[in-house]
Amino acid sequence: MKTPQTPERRKKRSRIVTRSFGLLLAVAIAGLFTYYWFENYYPNGERVQPDFGGLAKPVFYRGEMLKEEATGENDALKLPLAFMKEKVDPTIFHETATDSVIITTQDKVLRMKTNALTATVNEKPLTLKFPIVKKGDHVYLPIDPVKQLYGMDIRESEETGVVIVHLQGDTVQWGRANGGAKERPVAMRREPSIKSPIVADLQPDEEIMLWPEKDTEEWYYAQSKAGIVGYVRKKDVAVDRVETIPPLVDPEPFVPWKPTGGKINMTWEHVTTKNPDTSKIGPMPGLNVISPTWFHLADGEGNLKNLADASYVKWAQSQGYQVWALFSNGFDPKVTTQALATYDKRMKMIKQLLAFAQLYKLQGINIDFENVDLKDKAKLTQFVREMTPLLHEQNLVVSIDVTTKSTSENWSMFYDRTALAQTVDYMMVMAYDEHWASSPVAGSVASLPWVEKSIVQMMKEDRVPASKLVLGVPYYTRIWTEQTKNGKKEVSSRAVFMETVVKLIKDKGLKPTYSAESGQNYVEYTEDGKLMKIWIEDETSIKARIELVHKYDLAGVASWRRGYETPNIWELVKQTLEKRSS
């Protein structure tokens, strides 16, 4: 028989149970707290190898590892072409047809061929220490020429093989690992967390590069001199010096000719078979540049047809005119494709132009490539990039004619106006043929609002500087014929000189009226039951366009073409150009 528990014994036992439960609860809480602290505040001590994605020779730029690795080492180190195009110079041109890489700068054209130690700079031989190499689909450039051309700083780690690239003008913020009073190593971790594994132990005072693009509130994204990247706590880093990669000393820029204190006033001289009799050319006051259409692409091999005349040059220069001979592709897209296809063909054309310029004592070349397939857009731009430094070597002004912007591939879209404007000295915008010969609707050759819109569009969208933009104006117009046949309106036109319209108005006793919509005079009449319409090119329309040159401070004006104008136009252009330039 059990002895009954007294109240005192029951209380004592209850206290023991309570104390035991409290102790167990305290232990549990302490355990949970320890676990929580360990999980959240105890640094991970695991060490892992840096992850270079399986690349043996990874390349880094500003802490970012590139997709392609380098090849070689030390002086034989080579960088992937893809990196050079993406980060250094997108204009580097890889020509698969000739296994060539062509680099163009302000004053140089460097051509290197795969596995060849002989290259050319401005068509002069250059011996390379190491050639371009190709591995599979990847092309690699030797570092020596690219360092010289681009001022790159390339650092290769013997420890890891990592290649760190800095570009001219880059700034690098350096820091130092700060291990505290005990000078302990500082952990660089894979992610910005103490729970992330350690990729490198930074020794006290070790220098690291800090790349702020990936910083967090408490962590620096850093890179060691060995190229290892990761995160370091900000409290463990002392921010140190800023290194600036020295910029290249640019060569003296080519300064193209321009009239002192004035605007370019150019006209094209249309030469088809033989040159004009200069004794019959009347005075052209104010004119300072003339561009005879002398050189034409003859075939797909890059041979040029030459219509130049030394006596014409002598006459023009005696009148104070600069001679910027026009070079045309003949407006043949197939032949143009063939001639632009390779560096050798492009250089063949360039060398002929250089020889002609020297032979005839020319002062410039005006490029007029029209009706070009859209697929040749990059090659046309490359051609101009290759041509310009060599023409500048002979002190020749380089200009190019472009159409206004439209969605027509062969008429407008093949021009990379932004890239071309960065290369040439002047860009002539042919601001005419708003309504062309076979236009289904009658209208102005170049209404004033359309011309102004075209100028603004090119400056804003294509970033063509006003100081390079020359406004092309027409010295011709069209007589439009509208008639109804079988219930359907038919439209046709013919281009005529200014003088033709003056005579027609006089002979028929017509009275033109000013069209505010087009910004020019307009007249219409009937003839044999047909409605005839003319948007007139005269002093009114030409003066309005010259005012646009002043409004947007363009480089000047270029007229198509000499011989289409009435004699009074020259004095009008001269006075209007000088009125606000003086």
For 66-92, what is the mean pLDDT? 97
Q: Do domains 59-164 and 171-244 have the same CATH topology?
A: no
pLDDT in tens, 27-52: 667 666 555 545 566 799 999 999 99
According to DSSP, residue 88 is labeled I
pLDDT in tens, 511-550: 999 999 999 999 999 999 999 999 999 999 999 999 999 9
pLDDT in tens, 316-349: 999 999 999 999 999 999 999 999 999 999 999 9
| Domain range summary for the chain, segments of one domain joined by + | 59-164, 171-244, 264-579
pLDDT in tens, 160-214: 999 999 999 999 999 999 977 678 999 999 999 999 999 999 999 999 999 999 9
| Residues 56-60: contacts with CB under 8 Å, at least 24 apart | 56/161, 57/161, 57/162, 57/163, 58/161, 58/162, 58/163, 58/227, 59/83, 59/162, 59/163, 59/164, 59/165, 60/162, 60/163, 60/164, 60/165, 60/223, 60/227, 60/229
pLDDT at 216 over 80: yes
Average pLDDT, rounded, for the chain: 94
For 375-386, what is the mean pLDDT? 98
Q: Which CATH number fits domain 264-579: 3.40.50.1220, 3.40.50.970, 3.90.1150.10, 3.20.20.80?
A: 3.20.20.80
**Domain spanning 59-164, CATH architecture:** 2-Layer Sandwich (3.30)
pLDDT at 307 over 50: yes
Fold of the domain built from segment(s) 171-244: SH3 type barrels. (2.30.30)
Query: Which distant-in-sequence residues (6+ apart) come within 8 Å of 434 by Cβ?
Result: 404, 443, 444, 445, 446, 447, 450, 451
